Structures are given as C-alpha cells and as structure tokens.
Structure 1
Amino acid sequence: MADPTIDAASEAVADGSDELDVPAIDLPSDAFGAVLDALDGREPDEPLRFEGFAVARDDAAAGEFRLDPAGGDPRTGLSERDLHEALADRAAAVTDWYVFERVVGEFGPRRAFLRWIEDADGETVATRYAALAEGIERAWGELQITATVTDRGERRYDLRHADDAGASVDDLDVYENPLDARDIVTYDDKGRYRPLKTAPSLTGGWVFPDLGPRDAYEAVETVYPATVANWHREREGELDVSHWRETMARQSGIYGVVKTWDRGEGHEHVNWVAEACCDDSQCLKRREWQYDEETDLDVDGGDGVFPCREPCSVVVSAARKWTRLESEQPRTYEFELTPSEKEQVEDIIDAVADGRIDDIREADTKEGANRYRARFLRAKLFDDDGNLGGVPTDPDEDDEE
C-alpha cells in the first residue's frame, strides 16, 4: 500500500538530492498558541518535543523559553517573540505536531488512520510535506483518498471512487458534508440496494474534494463502517475475532437453525459458505475468522486492507437458507444432455456466480451463458410445467396427485 509520491521523496532524502521540494509553511497563530498552551504547567525538565528539537520553559528566567535543537547548543532566555521567530523557522515540524495533537487529537483509530495515509510513523516531516505538496494517494477498498497540505500546514483530503481517479472535480457530483456519503453507499449503479457496504459495488461519479482530517475520517467510516476501527485493533494486536462456531452458537430465533448444520461431517460446509460469500469479488474485507479457534478453513481469506472479525449478517442469513436446503435428502435425477449442453450448464452457473451475466453480449453466442443460448436450452429441455428434461423435482408427490 506504499504511495509512490512518498517513496520518491524518501529516496531523494536518502540520496542527498536537491530535488526534495518542501513547501514553504507559514506558522499559524493557532499552532503557536497551542504550543504556549501545551507549555503551561510543564516543568522546565518536561520539554515539548517536535521532530528535530524541543521547547521548554526556561528555568533560569521566568516567562522565558528554551529551545533545544537535536545535536546542537540550546537557545535560552527566549522571549515569546523570540520563540515565535524560532518556531516560524521550523514551521513544518510545528504544524505537523499541531495537526495530529490538536486538530486530529485522540490516540485511536482516527489518528492512526490519518497518520497511515502519509506514513507519518515512518517518514520525516520534510519527506511527507514534499509528498503532500504533490498529493499522497491511498486506496481504501474502492475509495481513493488524496491528502495534500496547505501553506499553513493544514491537511486537506480529496475522497472519491477509485474509478474516478483522473476525473476533474467539475465532472463529478461535489459533496461537502461527510454524512452525505450515506446516500452514496445505499444503492449500486443499477439502483439496487446494497445490503453489504463492503461489497465491491460502490457507485462512482462523486467527490468530496476538500475535507479536513476529522471529516475525511467520518466520510471513510460512513462508506465503510467500522473498517478503520477494526484495522486499528488489528494493528494494535487487539482484534477480537469471533469464529464460525462461536458466532453460530449465539444465533437465536429464525437464525437458530444454523446451529443444526454441524453434524460431525467436519467443516466442509463452512468452506462452501466462505468461498461463496467471502471472496474478494464479493467482499472487500479480509476474512480473519475461521471454523473455530483451532481449525482453519481451507479457502483463502482475501487480500483486503481491513479485516473481517466475524461472519456478517449477510453470511448468517445466507447460511440459514443453505442450512434448510442442505437438510433435504439427495435424490438421483436422470437427464439427457449433449456434452456441449453439460458445459453450457456449467458456464451458466459460473457466469451467475461470478456476476458476469451483464458482461455477456446478446450477439456473443459463443458464450455458454449467452441469453439466447440459455433460452434455446430452456425451450429444448423444459416441459410445459418448467421441469428440466420433463422430470418433476418430487416425482413421488406428482404420483400421489
């Protein structure tokens, strides 16, 4: 998930290159005021630390300050004016501190996520500000987030669908309130309701072009609820995973039937569920839950950046239906199919399962799932009652009638 803009800036620093273009930053009065507020009540031996230097009250003179550059001689006896001038020369480091300590605030998922966007825990202020001047792009599901910096060190964020990465703002629907994202995520581009917000069916054509840090976080969490919080828990080693058996044991009411699916045959049925529902093509989360704490599933959990900590409501609802279907006793049916017809049935199932039906053109009769070929197969093989090969689903009941 590394951003090439950050990498280029970092390489320039490592090579001692003059190509690192760090933007000129003005020191806002809010940032300087926050420094003074932070120093209030601190003892001289409790300095306020920035990247490359520290500031403290001067214990030798009341009302004066001391600046300690890393690896240099300290400057003592600074007046408030002197301190402002010294910090103005180091405005990038001060504004960086101010953004994350005062604007973003809390040591939690919001702060971690916004720092991750610009790799604030791995790169220097100079490297990041140079990259921010160009725009740092990060992917989060189907979102593209572009972070930039103003001449006052303020962070601004452009949030849009990744498919609209190169589009002009003028060509997109512009939003300002992050909660407007609730309307954007409700339906897909065909107007169908999206029950799973992490499905790869987010519609495009919109942009939040100028969000502050808190609003950017709010918008991302509105598009993909709880994904940042779970991502942060995972990074902190605190992701509380609820595996299949544990989650199913909690089901009650109409969903309690799912608990009956475990009949000692192992966990093959859960593999089928995970393969059907939890593939990257169906959900952008990375499945971390398994059959139980000791038993992993045999199917891949996906490559998403944010984890899935338990079977979701969509999985549980689907599993309820499959539990009932799998409780039926198998029967043997006999149909006559040509080899091509057998392959066509397989093609139709694959196309429906992979969501490719809309991509198969009506004129492309080479495709087994082509609509005209499917209609021909139905006309040939179904009887007037809709039975494949004229064979009733339950022939015993038909005999009783």
Structure 2
Amino acid sequence: MADSTSATDGGEAGGDDPGVPEIDLPSDAFDAVLDALDELDPGEPLRFEGFSVARGTEGTDEELPGGSPDEYVLADGSRPTGMSERDLHEALAERAPAVTDWYVFERVVGEFGPRRAFLRWIEDADGETVATRYAALAAGIERAWGELKITATLTDRGERRYDVRHADDAGVPVDELDAYDDPLDARDLVTFDERGRYRPLKTAPSLAGGWVFPDLGPRELYETVETIYPATVANWHREREGELDVNHWRETMERQSGIYGVVKTWDRGEGYEHVNWVAEACCDDSQCLKRREWEYDDETDLDVDGGDGAFPCREPCSVVVSAARKWTRLESEQPRTYEFELTPSEKEQVEEVIDAVADGRIDEIREADTKEGANRFRTRFLRAKLFDDEGNLGGVPTDPDEE
C-alpha cells in the first residue's frame, strides 16, 4: 500500500474526508444495485461498507424502519423512512465510494478466485477501509510482482485503472516507452531478454524493459500479468487458500520417460546430494523469481534455501528437468586424476572465472580491469599460457588414450 494512504474509521466513505477523492456514481453501478436487490427477498439487505440497503422490510431480521415493497430503506440511521428510487439514487450518490467499490469487485471483477484475490491484494482491500484505499488510489498504489511494477489508480467514477511496466522503467514517461493495450502483446515482450537471447524460463530475472501497458482495466491487468508470468497468480492464490498442490522431486522424476527417464537413476543417498546441487544451481533468487516449495520428497527437505519470491514454485520445471538430465549423464562418468601446474594466483583466477560465469557477471567486468580474475584479456593470457594447440589445459588430454 502506498505510504501516502491515510486511514479513517469505518462507516460512511465519502467526499467529506479531505483525503478521499470526489466520486460520481455511474448509472451502471446504480443499475447493478437495483438488479442485486431484485435478486434478494423483500427486506433482505444488500450490504456495503458502513451501511446496507433493502427493498421493503417484510421478513427481514434487520432492525430497519418500515417500508412498502416499492420503497427502499437505508440502514445507517440517516433515512428514517422509506425512499423512492430517485431518493435511493441520491442517497447512494452521497456514498459513491462504497457503492462503486462494491460494484467493481462484485460486478466488474465478479468470481471469487485468483483474479479477484489478486486485484484486492493490490489495494489491500481485505485490510483497509474504502476511504483509506480510495485516498491511496488517488495518489497511486504501487505493487511489485517479480520484475513488474503495477500502479493502481482511480477514475472519478470509481473505476480502477492499472499501469504495468518493468520495474527499471519506474518514473519514465509513457511517451518514452512502447505502449500496448492488448494483454496478448505481452507474449512477444517476454520471449527475449534485452540482448535478444531466448528466455526459456519466463520467471527468470531477465525480463527486458522499455514497454508499458498504461491504461488497463481489472480483467486486462490479470491477463497481462499471467501472460508475462504464467500461472504465478493462480499458484499464489492456491497457496493463500491452503490448496497449493506441491509435487516434490522424486514424484516428478517418476513421471519422466523417454530421454528424460535417465534422471530417475538419481535415487536416495548420493542422488539426494545431486538434487541439492540442482536446486542451488537453478532455483536461487538470482536465477528464478519463484520461491521453491518442492523438496526431495514428502519426508526429506533439501539443504538449499528455497528463495524469497512472491509466488511459489510447486514442482521442478522443465528447465530444471532438462538440466538435471544432462547432469545425470555427466555425473555417471568415472573420475580421473589429471596433473598440471598452476601458480597460486592462477588457481584463484580459475575459481574467479567459474564464479563470474555462474553468477552471470562476465558483462560487468571491464576490459581494462585486469585485476579481476575473470577479465577477458587476463583470461585470454591464461589460455595462451596453459593451453596447447589442441586446446588441452596444461597440455594434458582429457582421454589418456589420446596421448
């Protein structure tokens, strides 16, 4: 929630609070109220924040003043007698924030599921009053979702509008970015990173920027986020509801067949250590924005931390399975002993090169910075010194039979 939000007591949410924007009651919101009352029994109240409305009072358990079936009753003590439809419109217009808030979530968003939960989470609708949220929305509520920055704002009709962009583009004017309005356009934006390389893992922290969806409605926001980060909202919601179905490593590997069936050879014991290495290599925050919830099996946790991502990872993904297949084959090789000489500085340089490649820091090392072990010129010097004409380190072939 934006820091500029000011809290108010419950009750009526309207323009009397200086922090709450003036909201016009749109005709479609008022019509939706009438339709909702038609769906209720006479006297059964339709509840908003701080008050309720009923058509007639027959059969109601509410302590409402009397009224005929053709009259409306407002339950907050301000209207002691029944109201006509025109009176009701006037009364609801005075309470437009509460009415439009009900309309947005009950009629525009509708279904009780991941989309509704996500949209309500953005503005903390389950924890803050309408007045507090509308004041915050007037200033703009910002939320992070992976590498996305989502900004929610409010129109003078109580409608929500959303700006979605890369977090690195926060504060950049819309006209300086490539603007889109169709959620399906996001499919092209997530295909390649900023260097034009294909992104096989959509939750990798390599999303390119330079674009914006500046004016999305609630449904379009959800579709855009789910296109950029598939199933993340759905799994986040399942976790919140206590319904996240986690498939651990062993049960996932048991389903592999064909060329991936070899991964099943990593069984308990030594295989457990291998899976730790896989998780450390692939599932760190620097490599994936998800938070790993799967372990070795139901009874055995991995030693590697699962990360801090906002959305959970419920099973080893295809990238992990593909990498594990390759590593399974590599780990099946028998170890050999190779002998070659390195100076202490050269040993440390080899270690620095491996670290820099593993952490993706090669591009950060300047060519002139030769004190860095993974510096390109320094590494080329080491290769010139230690590799023979066949590319063997220390002149030692990989296969002794090649000698």
TM range, normalised to the smaller chain? over 0.9
Match of 2:74 among 58, 67, 80: 67
Judge conservation of contact 2:43–2:56 (CA < 8 Å) in 1. no
Question: Match of 2:331?
Answer: 326
Question: Match of 2:46?
Answer: 48
How does 1:16-31 map onto structure 2 within 5 Å? 21-31=19-29
- Give the alignment's TM-score, normalised by structure 1: 0.95
**CA offsets per residue over residues 172-229 of structure 1, 9 Å max, x none?**
1111111111110000000001000000000001111100000011100010000000
Question: Match of 2:95?
Answer: 90
2:225 maps to 1:226: no
**CA offsets per residue over residues 361-391 of structure 1, 9 Å max, x none?**
1000010000001100001000111100011
**CA offsets per residue over residues 325-362 of structure 1, 9 Å max, x none?**
00001111111000000000000000000000011010
- Identity across aligned pairs (percent)? 82
Whichever residue aligns with residue 4 of structure 2, its letter is: T
Give secondary structure in 2 for the equivalent of 1:78: coil
Match of 2:402 among 393, 398, 401: 398
Judge conservation of contact 2:367–2:375 (CA < 8 Å) in 1. yes
**CA offsets per residue over residues 303-333 of structure 1, 9 Å max, x none?**
1000000000000000000000000011111
Deviation at 1:267, TM superposition (A): 1.2
Question: Match of 1:253?
Answer: 258
Deviation at 1:38, TM superposition (A): 0.4
Judge conservation of contact 1:20–1:127 (CA < 8 Å) in 2. no
2:293 maps to 1:288: yes
Taking only aligned residues, the RMSD between alpha carbons, in angstroms, comes to 1.5
Between 1:123-132 and 1:264-273, the stretch displaced more is 264-273
Question: Match of 1:195?
Answer: 200
Question: Match of 1:352?
Answer: 357
Question: Match of 1:311?
Answer: 316
How does 1:2-401 map onto structure 2 within 5 Å? 2-6=1-5, 9-10=6-7, 21-59=19-57, 60-69=67-76, 72=77, 75-262=80-267, 264-265=269-270, 267-395=272-400, 397-399=401-403
For structure 1, the 5+ residue unaligned runs are none
Deviation at 1:263, TM superposition (A): 5.4
In 2: Cα distance, 1:318 partner to 1:135 partner: 42
Deviation at 1:76, TM superposition (A): 3.5
Give secondary structure in 1 for the equivalent of 2:215: strand
In 1: Cα distance, 2:4 partner to 2:166 partner: 20
In 2: Cα distance, 1:56 partner to 1:333 partner: 86
- Give the alignment's TM-score, normalised by structure 2: 0.94
In 2: Cα distance, 1:243 partner to 1:377 partner: 43
Q: Which runs of 4+ in 1 moved over 4 A?
A: none
Judge conservation of contact 2:386–2:393 (CA < 8 Å) in 1. yes
In 2: Cα distance, 1:225 partner to 1:368 partner: 39
**CA offsets per residue over residues 143-193 of structure 1, 9 Å max, x none?**
000000000000000000000001011111111111111110000000001
Cα 1:166–1:261, aligned 2, differ >3 Å: closer, same or farther? same
